[in-house]
Amino acid sequence: MKTKYVSLLGLAVVLVLLLAGCSKGVKGTYSCKGGLFLQGITLGSDDKAFVIGNVFGMIQQKAATYRVERDNVILTVDGQSTPFTIKGRALDGGELGGICTLQ
């Protein structure tokens, strides 16, 4: 009887580890279309990001940070946060951010 509980506990631990390993990974380079300024996002390690945008005809690149909350990526540039909804291999930033597709 005790062996049965130990086996079930071991199985539960393995399942938890497998599920943790299958979490949504958002790291990568995204190409953006349909937004106001954003042309691309690169999400890297340690919650660091870079954004590329077209502001009044000038291409600018800025350092940023990001965090993942459930099905959202919150991108923060110069203290301003913008939520993007994770939709498969894309990030949907609405009218402001447009649709950013993983390359």
Structural tokens at position 51: 């954004």
pLDDT above 90: percentage of residues in the chain = 73
Provide the pLDDT for residue 101.
98
pLDDT digits (tens, 9 = 90+) for 10-59: 433 333 333 333 445 999 999 999 999 999 999 999 999 999 999 899 99
Domain hosting residue 85, numbered range: 25-102
Please tell me the pTM assigned to this model.
0.74
Give the residue, 22 or 90, on which the prediction is more confident: 90
**Number of independent structural domains in the chain:** 1
Instruction: Report the C-alpha gap between 8 and 52 in whole angstroms.
Output: 50
Query: 7 lies in a domain?
Result: no
Give the single-character DSSP code of 86. Answer: E
Provide the pLDDT for residue 23.
45
Provide the pLDDT for residue 2.
54
Query: 19 lies in a domain?
Result: no
Instruction: Report the C-alpha gap between 65 and 77 in whole angstroms.
Output: 7
